Structure 1
Amino acid sequence: MPLKLTRRKGSDNWYIRGTIRGESVFESTGTCDRAVAEEIRIQAEARILTESVHGKKTLVTFEEAASSYLASGGSPRFLISYSKTSGKASGVAVHFKGKLLKDIGQADLDAAARILYPHASPETRNRQCYTPFIAVWSHAAGNQWAEKREWRRPRKPKGTNIAVLKRKRAGTRATEYDRAAQFVAEMTPASAQIMTALFYTGMRPIELFVLQAADVNVAGRWITIQKSKIGEGRGVPMHEFLVPLFEALTVRGGILFRSHKGEPYPPSDEFGGQIDSAVKGARARLKKRGVEMGDISPYTARHTVSTQLVINGVHPYIKDQILGHAVDDMSRHYTHVPQAPLIEAINTLPVPASWRSLEWWQDPVYFSRKLRKWGAKKEMQRSA
């Protein structure tokens, strides 16, 4: 029977009820206004008829596909972000808001890249526009909301063999642990503790910033990441060097790593930008003494862990599991279970004596609330 409006006992709202092409419907319109409810009924009936004849592919928008992709654990990076000041949303999902998947073609994707990143290089457009778009499209195709297709990505302009030298982003190369220790010694305790944890776990900064006390098993030397960058949970072994730090922070409870004001860092995947000022300050102080360390950033730690494990002869599969590169049914199954081979491997990372002697090890929580007063005496000063 066609859809009709009805009311339930005890409710003023109108409900849509009926069966169309074998599909039963009983849902609230969310309104007590008969005229508005009738418009909603007509739209619902048209939608069901169209979907039954042509399939859902004709009705799903990019926005709906993106929401489903995120709900399934997909990364929001470059797909959608919100301004810290205005709260306004931006990104690929916003650009294609309201656009049906069936109406999006290669020309639309190319135009989006030009609009969103008008002055960017082909590599940047590829990474920040094409990659998140294609990830959503693949998710939609897997749900049979869109046709599988090959999307053309941007290429470098042809006609020249001249290599354009670009300034490398800090953190793209590994460093030595003695050098890292020297760098961390020039940081305020809260930031130094973050960098220390990164250099002895290989975690991504975003994973560390959202880590909760409940995710850490100090006795088992194990850290559980509930959702990694690729959407899967994983386990991370804890180096013995980190035990006093994690013991103190888990007793405090809640979010483990906080600013000197005791506030959690805002979750962001922008290469550890939450401690950007601390990193720049350490670089500047070292540079004044003739020590150049402009290449070190939070992501340096992850590359350093990876490189050092290779140097130490750790099996590639073990290394990949520590860094979260190995994603299979077995590693997912044991996310919360401490694994001896991984713990043994992480403990091969060297610990310079100068790192062990930093003052904040005496009481990590107490010192995390203090600022370093840079001067001749290098005293510690309680934050306001």
Structure 2
Amino acid sequence: MKIVRRSDSDYFYLRCSLFGKTVCKSTGLTDRNLAEAVRIQTEASMLHEHVFGPKATKTFSEAAASYVKSGGSNRFLDRLIRHMGSALLHTIGQAELDEAARELYPTSAPETRNRQCYTPFIAVWNHAIGNGWADVRQWRRPRKPKGTNVVQSATQRSGTAPVDYERAAEFVAAMSPAPAMVMTFLFYTGLRPIEAFALDATDVDISKRWLAVRTSKTGEPRGVPLHSFLCEWLGPLVERGGELFRTPRGEPYGAVQNGGGGLKSAIQGARRRSGIKDVSPYTARHTVSTGLVIAGIHPHIKDQILGHATDSMSRR
């Protein structure tokens, strides 16, 4: 491996053909000594991977970057990457994951640690498994201490419980057509809002009553059956092509992560007009999950439809 400086750049580049791999990338450095240090480190890493395989060399930050690049959500990943980014995947076990959760979210409830630490970590890990960088493992998630499974008198946050479909219909009726279509779609599929926003017309097959979620929170694609009611009005959206759902202005919904999502304004307006305060996009997901249980769908099939990372989400 050599370091060279191209005529059209001040930066030093790494160039080589090593073990059948061709490398030509910038070091991002103009100092030869620093570039040489990068060359030595890169060459050693490639040699180590060639001898011991990628499972011995891939770090969590590399796996996380690949996961996001492949379409995975980067929500909550920044803090995880800062905490364990340089750690090799094969050195991370249950103890290391639990320690990261305790240090990153020392005062948070188990549900918060589960959502903001364990779920994104497991999504990255599953992606790494698919690339041959990590082994299959069963990760334990945090649970409430015994004796805490009691009815709480505090008001629940919207989106944490199901509602009946009459109440859902009353809420959706208070929305403008574009967001109303999205919410109706969520109440009949159980998709996460960000998954619905990412759907392309080519992902939907109305004749087969089926849609494909190609990127999801868990990093695994899945198929979802379409209710006949959706097939009655999805046709024009599919024929239009491009993004399946668009805003009232005809633009794609933004994948907003921390501000309530692309439906925030529509949800607030519907709450004012309908007086219903306990409905949010995630209410639809809980409602579909409950409906599948009542319909007698096997828990494993239900988890596949909803894209649950573990069966503990199904029990919840």
TM-score (norm 1): 0.59
The more displaced of 125-134 and 172-181 is: 125-134
Counterpart position of 2:288: 305
1:330-349 aligned at under 5 Å gives the runs none
Provide the C-alpha distance between the structure 1 equivalents of 2:126 and 2:232, rounded to a whole number of angstroms.
Answer: 45
Post-superposition offset of 1:265 = 1.3
Provide the C-alpha distance between the structure 2 equivalents of 1:75 and 1:214, rounded to a whole number of angstroms.
Answer: 21
How many residues align? The count is 304
Whether the 8 Å CA contact 1:70–1:76 is kept in 2: the answer is: yes
Provide the C-alpha distance between the structure 1 equivalents of 2:162 and 2:306, rounded to a whole number of angstroms.
Answer: 14
The one-letter code matched in structure 1 to 2:58 is V
2:163 pairs with 175, 186, 192, which one? 175
Post-superposition offset of 1:92 = 0.9
Post-superposition offset of 1:322 = 4.8
Q: What is the DSSP-based 3-state SS (H/G/I as helix, E as strand, rest coil) of the residue aligned with 1:274? A: coil
1:27 pairs with 23, 26, 31, which one? 23
2:270 pairs with 263, 277, 282, which one? 282
- Summarize the Cα distance change of 1:26–1:205 in structure 2 as closer, same or farther, 3 Å threshold: closer
2:176 pairs with 180, 183, 188, which one? 188
> Tell me, which stretches of 5 or more residues in structure 2 are unaligned?
311-316
Counterpart position of 1:63: 61
Counterpart position of 1:237: 225
Provide the C-alpha distance between the structure 1 equivalents of 2:216 and 2:207, rounded to a whole number of angstroms.
Answer: 23
Whether the 8 Å CA contact 2:162–2:284 is kept in 1: the answer is: yes
Post-superposition offset of 1:181 = 1.6
Q: What is the DSSP-based 3-state SS (H/G/I as helix, E as strand, rest coil) of the residue aligned with 1:125? A: helix
Post-superposition offset of 1:16 = 4.7
Please list the CA deviations of residues 158-179 of structure 1 after superposition, one character each: whole Å capped at 9, or x if unmatched.
9x87968354332333322222
Whether the 8 Å CA contact 2:246–2:253 is kept in 1: the answer is: yes
The one-letter code matched in structure 1 to 2:24 is S
> Tell me, which stretches of 5 or more residues in structure 1 are unaligned?
80-89, 288-292, 328-384
Post-superposition offset of 1:63 = 0.7
- Summarize the Cα distance change of 1:164–1:252 in structure 2 as closer, same or farther, 3 Å threshold: same
1:128 matched to 2:116? The reply is yes
Whether the 8 Å CA contact 2:14–2:23 is kept in 1: the answer is: yes
1:227 matched to 2:227? The reply is no
- Summarize the Cα distance change of 1:258–1:94 in structure 2 as closer, same or farther, 3 Å threshold: farther
1:143-158 aligned at under 5 Å gives the runs none
Post-superposition offset of 1:269 = 6.1
Q: What is the DSSP-based 3-state SS (H/G/I as helix, E as strand, rest coil) of the residue aligned with 1:186? A: coil
Post-superposition offset of 1:26 = 5.4
TM-score (norm 2): 0.69
Post-superposition offset of 1:194 = 1.3
The more displaced of 46-55 and 203-212 is: 46-55
The one-letter code matched in structure 1 to 2:279 is I
Whether the 8 Å CA contact 2:120–2:217 is kept in 1: the answer is: no
Post-superposition offset of 1:185 = 1.4
Whether the 8 Å CA contact 2:61–2:86 is kept in 1: the answer is: yes
1:1-384 aligned at under 5 Å gives the runs 16-17=15-16, 23=19, 27-28=23-24, 30=26, 35=32, 38-48=36-46, 59-70=57-68, 76-79=74-77, 90-100=78-88, 112-114=100-102, 116-133=104-121, 136=124, 165=152, 166-268=154-256, 273-287=261-275, 293-311=276-294, 322-323=305-306
Q: What is the DSSP-based 3-state SS (H/G/I as helix, E as strand, rest coil) of the residue aligned with 1:200? A: helix
Whether the 8 Å CA contact 2:73–2:216 is kept in 1: the answer is: no
Q: What is the DSSP-based 3-state SS (H/G/I as helix, E as strand, rest coil) of the residue aligned with 1:273? A: coil
Provide the C-alpha distance between the structure 2 equivalents of 1:235 and 1:105, rounded to a whole number of angstroms.
Answer: 31
Provide the C-alpha distance between the structure 1 equivalents of 2:287 and 2:258, rounded to a whole number of angstroms.
Answer: 19
Provide the C-alpha distance between the structure 2 equivalents of 1:135 and 1:192, rounded to a whole number of angstroms.
Answer: 30
Provide the C-alpha distance between the structure 1 equivalents of 2:150 and 2:242, rounded to a whole number of angstroms.
Answer: 49
